[in-house]
A and B are shown apart, each in its own frame.
Chain A
């Protein structure tokens, strides 16, 4: 309690007790909103974007909302403890911002039926657990198109993290759209088994570069690969965050996660008492997935092509996973014109035809 509040409080009880109590009741307690972060806001990527959205949400509501944050929470048993800690601290709405918090979130939610939970990128829901996710693969379709046009060696690299559906969607979508504009394109994929380890990300980028890759995409959170791309004079894309400090080259565009509209909406729902458990999956159209500025290193016609694709996706005229598409083993997946259903995509566990290598399971 701040000294000023304390003085005001004692003054009220000491002099005009009745009116003091009435004031208390009218000035509602701020809503406490909790956030669990996988990394630190300084990662310049995934967690940074969640934290930016949190700050925008705070600015939007002013004194009506208060936030509590726990950073650097490993996915696993530790997560359950941290989420419980936030619930015990009086948070009424808790955002858990990584895939690996799925089961911990569900477990804690059972113990706190009056607290609302929002789990990012998962698929398990309960009466007080919603899930929210972004169709990052829509953004991958756009940068995949640029990558296919920009590569001279016909080798594009993808630094992958863990074989979860979100990452597999990204790889497939980027490959499909690179291949569409450049039939000779080949995709090299390195699984680094981490979301954040700058040294390992840099090593992976260097391994790609030495193997002849000249356009690099990443699913990891730090800007380490960007630095290697810059040194080697190749192209790369910002991930999660704009990474604009590396523009105009190596960063020629980016996929930006903009969670702010969603966070503001959900906090408003709780304040209005209208919060419901649901699963939302937002894409370019809703503004959650943004394409960062395409720099002048990209020829004008390629830029126009990419932006046209983005507009078609935003308007819902085109879905990145539209047949005819085959699975990696050559068996048919989608017939011509058929669009992949959300429940298939949210459990996607195979490569499409043409990608080399075996998907880890």
Chain B
């Protein structure tokens, strides 16, 4: 199926892969923000995940172990952030920015000597005859396991937040931490857990870059993906399925503009390369205009410092 020199099926299959890093980072950050903490350190957690996953995968020869290490490293970064913001009550915005800078520097240090190495490959899962179905086969049944995991995480996050008691408690903490505290919920513990989960997802997203999508290590290779993930959480008005939509729109337009150029379609390059950002802003404007500000759904306690004495 081709349209204007672009194979639509290949386009969709490649946009899914291109969107996975930001999807993973964004869905993790969504959980953290629903618990009321704004962690601007996504970029830093991603890149530390990217290098840790890469190093472990190269030495062990197992990409699966690499992804585990990346999740652990991302979570460790997030726990550091949780300690600073939840126990020492430091400013969340400043601490998040510091976490990003720290992560970029730490990853550059750890990555010395890993430039140009090739990681063990993460093969696509074989679905046998399913992969041969026209159109649906290449789109749905031709990916690696991490991509399917990312979709499962979106589903799991949605089920957890909207259909489980634990999810309700987490949202309560994010909406009004004083009330949650008065009810006997352990606000700091819940927030630390949410942050650690967010960090683990960001680490996975980073490792997807260094192990699957690029796949190699280069200093600063996330190149702003963490910031896009943060924007997508707002774009999605803190809802899991909209995070999926936002990540795929953003990744899709990015991939599409490159392919339009390869197909030689005469649209000015500047318009094409700003398109992902323009479309993201447009959707945001439309969504917020229609329902009013409250309906955007930001957790009420987002970014506010919690101290039990208040």
Which chain A residues have a beta carbon within 8 Å of chain B's beta carbons? 39-40, 42-44, 72, 157, 188-194, 196-200, 202-204, 206-208, 210-211, 213, 222-224, 227, 230, 243, 245-246, 356-358, 360
A42-B108, A202-B214 as given contacts; A188 in contact with B115, CB under 8 Å:
no
Find out whether the CB atom of A72 lies under 8 angstroms from the CB atom of B218.
Answer: no
Partner of A40, one of B108, B259, B269: B108
Question: Which label, helix, strand, loop or mixed, suits the secondary structure of the A interface?
Answer: mixed
Chain B residues near A224 (CB, 8 Å)? Answer: 214, 216, 218
Given A211-B5, A227-B216, 10 more pairs with CB closer than 8 A: A39-B219, A42-B218, A188-B264, A192-B258, A197-B224, A203-B254, A210-B7, A210-B262, A211-B262, A224-B218
Picked from B14, B221, B225, the residue with its CB within 8 Å of the CB of A210 is B14
CA distance A357 to B7 in the complex (A): 19
Bound-state CA distance A325–B10 (Å) is 38
Q: Report whether A203 and B255 are in contact in the complex, using a CB–CB cutoff of 8 Å.
A: yes
Residues of B within 8 A of A246 (CB): 116
Q: Assuming A42-B112, A210-B259, A360-B270, is B264 touching A198 (CB within 8 A)?
A: no
B204-239, CB under 8 A of A: which get 1 and which 0?
A: 000001000111101111111100000000000000
Bound CA span A204–B272, Å: 13
* Cβ-Cβ contact count across A and B, 8 Å cutoff: 111
Asked if B183 CB lies within 8 Å of chain A CBs, one says no
A223 touches B254 (CB 8 A): no
**B286: interface (CB < 8 Å):** no
The digit string for B1-39, where 1 denotes a CB below 8 A from any CB of A, is 000010100100010001001000000000000000000
Interface check B261, CB cutoff 8 A: yes
Known contacts A72-B220, A206-B14; is A190 also within 8 Å of B261 by CB? yes
**A199 engages B225 (CB within 8 Å):** yes
Q: For residue A62, give the distance in angstroms from its CB to the closest CB of chain B.
A: 25
Cross-chain contact A210 with B223 (CB below 8 angstroms): no
Report B262-297 residues with CB < 8 Å from chain A CB.
262-264, 266, 268-270, 273
Q: Write the chain A residue with the least CB distance to B263.
A: A211
Contact indicator A199/B115 (Cβ below 8 Å): no
CB atoms of B116 and A243 under 8 A apart:
yes
Determine whether the beta carbon of A42 is less than 8 Å from that of B7. Answer: no
Q: Kindly list the 5 A-B residue pairs having the minimum CB-CB distance in the complex, ordered from nearest.
A: A42-B219, A245-B116, A211-B262, A197-B223, A360-B269
Question: Contact partner of A202 among B213, B219, B262, B273, CB < 8 A?
Answer: B213
A196 pairs with B116, CB closer than 8 A: no
For residue A311, give the distance in angstroms from its CB to the closest CB of chain B: 30
6 sample A-B contacts, Cβ–Cβ < 8 Å, listed by A number: A42-B112, A190-B262, A198-B221, A207-B255, A227-B215, A358-B266
Shortest CB–CB separation between residue B42 and chain A, in angstroms? Answer: 15
Rounded to whole angstroms, the CA-CA distance of A243 and B209 in the bound complex is: 20
* Cβ–Cβ contact B218 & A223, under 8 A: yes
